C-alpha cells in the first residue's frame, strides 16, 4: 500500500463526523419530516392539527439550522448543499399535494417550482465556476411567505390562502429577477 495515497479509516470517520454538525442534523430531520407530513395530510382523522404541528417543527428546523451554523461557525459545504434541497422538498412536494387535492391552483406550483429549479441550476453553474450564490433578503421573505402559505393550506384557511398565494407567487418572481440581476456575471459564463 502506497503511503502517499493511504487515508486512515479514523481520518475518514472524523471527516464524516465533522460534516454531521447540529445544523446538518436539523436539515436532515427536515428532509425526513417531508414524507411524514405528507402522510399526515392524507389521513382524514389526523389531517389538520398534527400535520400543522409537524409542519411548524419543520419550519423551526429551517430557522434553527441557519442560526446554529452562524452562531457556532458550523457552516459547511454539506450544509450549503443539503439546506436548499430540504427547503425545496418541503415546499414543492406539499404544494403538489395541495394542487392534487384542489387546495391551490397549479399555476402557483408552476411559478414556485420553476423559480426554485432556475435558482438551483444557477447555483450549480456558479459553484462549478467557484462562485457561491447566497440567499438574499427577498429570498428569505419569499421563503417565509411560502411557508405561511403552506401553513394556511394545511389548516385549510381558504380566505388566507386566497390572499397569500398571489402574494407569494409575486414575491417569488421578483426574488428570481433580483437573483438573476445581482448575479448576472454567472449568466455571462453560460455563453
Could you tell me the pLDDT band of residue 187, with boundaries at 50, 70 and 90? confident
Q: Which of 98-107, 133-142, 169-178 has the lowest mean pLDDT?
A: 133-142
What is the CATH superfamily name and number for domain 22-189? CDP-alcohol phosphotransferase transmembrane (TM) domain (1.20.120.1760)
Whole-number mean pLDDT of the chain?
87
**pTM for this predicted structure:** 0.85
Report pLDDT digits (tens) over 126-137.
Answer: 878 877 777 789
| 65-97: b (≥16 Cβ within 10 Å) or e | bbebbeeeebebebbeebbbebbbebbbebbeb
**Domain ranges across the chain:** 22-189
User: 89 to each of 54, 93, 99, 105, how far by Cα in Å?
Assistant: 15, 6, 15, 19
Amino acid at each position: 500500500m502506497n503511503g502517499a495515497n493511504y487515508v486512515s479509516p479514523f481520518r475518514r470517520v472524523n471527516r464524516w463526523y465533522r460534516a454531521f454538525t447540529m445544523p446538518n442534523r436539523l436539515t436532515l430531520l427536515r428532509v425526513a419530516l417531508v414524507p411524514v407530513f405528507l402522510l399526515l395530510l392524507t389521513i382524514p382523522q389526523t389531517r389538520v392539527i398534527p400535520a400543522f404541528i409537524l409542519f411548524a417543527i419543520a419550519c423551526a428546523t429551517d430557522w434553527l439550522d441557519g442560526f446554529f451554523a452562524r452562531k457556532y461557525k458550523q457552516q459547511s459545504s454539506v450544509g450549503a448543499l443539503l439546506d436548499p434541497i430540504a427547503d425545496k422538498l418541503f415546499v414543492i412536494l406539499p404544494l403538489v399535494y395541495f394542487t392534487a387535492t384542489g387546495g391551490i391552483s397549479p399555476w402557483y406550483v408552476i411559478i414556485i417550482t420553476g423559480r426554485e429549479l432556475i435558482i438551483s441550476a444557477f447555483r450549480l453553474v456558479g459553484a462549478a465556476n467557484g462562485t457561491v450564490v447566497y440567499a438574499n433578503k427577498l429570498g428569505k421573505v419569499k421563503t417565509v411567505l411560502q411557508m405561511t402559505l403552506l401553513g394556511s393550506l394545511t389548516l385549510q384557511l381558504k380566505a388566507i390562502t386566497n390572499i397569500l398565494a398571489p402574494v407569494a407567487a409575486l414575491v417569488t418572481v421578483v426574488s428570481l429577477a433580483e437573483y438573476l440581476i445581482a448575479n448576472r456575471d454567472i449568466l455571462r459564463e453560460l455563453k
